[in-house]
C-alpha cells in the first residue's frame, strides 16, 4: 500500500472508486444521490439538492478523519464524494 501522503495515488484511488463498477451494486452514483436527496429532504422538511448529498457525505468522511487520520479509505472516499458533488453542482449552473 502506498503512503497516505501520496496525493496522486489518493486521487487515482478515488477516480477508480467513483468510475469503477460500484454502480453494479448501488446503481448510478448520480441517480443514487438524487434518491438520497429526496429522502433527506422529506426527513428534514426542506429541499436538499443532489450535490448537497456529496458534500454532506464528504463531511461525514472528514469527521471520521478527525478521529483517525491514518485510514486511507476515508480520504479516498471524501475525494470521491467531492468529485461527484462538483459534477452535480456544475450540472445545475445556469438552471
Q: Which residue has the cell 480520504?
A: 75
Model pTM score: 0.85
More confident residue, 38 or 5: 38
Domain-wise residue ranges, the chain = 7-92
pLDDT at 22: 81
Q: How confident is the model at residue 26 (pLDDT cuts 50, 70, 90)?
A: confident
Contacts of 62 (CB under 8 A, 6+ apart): 78
Distance in angstroms (rounded) separating the CA atoms of residues 71 and 55: 19
- pLDDT, residue 94, reads 43
Amino acid at each position: 500500500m502506498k503512503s497516505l501522503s501520496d496525493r496522486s495515488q489518493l486521487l487515482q484511488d478515488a477516480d477508480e472508486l467513483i468510475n469503477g463498477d460500484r454502480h453494479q451494486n448501488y446503481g448510478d452514483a448520480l441517480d443514487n444521490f438524487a434518491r438520497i436527496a429526496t429522502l433527506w429532504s422529506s426527513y428534514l422538511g426542506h429541499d436538499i439538492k443532489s450535490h448537497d448529498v456529496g458534500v454532506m457525505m464528504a463531511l461525514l468522511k472528514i469527521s471520521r478523519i478527525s478521529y483517525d487520520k491514518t485510514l486511507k479509505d476515508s480520504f479516498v472516499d471524501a475525494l470521491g464524494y467531492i468529485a461527484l458533488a462538483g459534477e452535480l453542482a456544475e450540472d445545475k449552473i445556469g438552471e
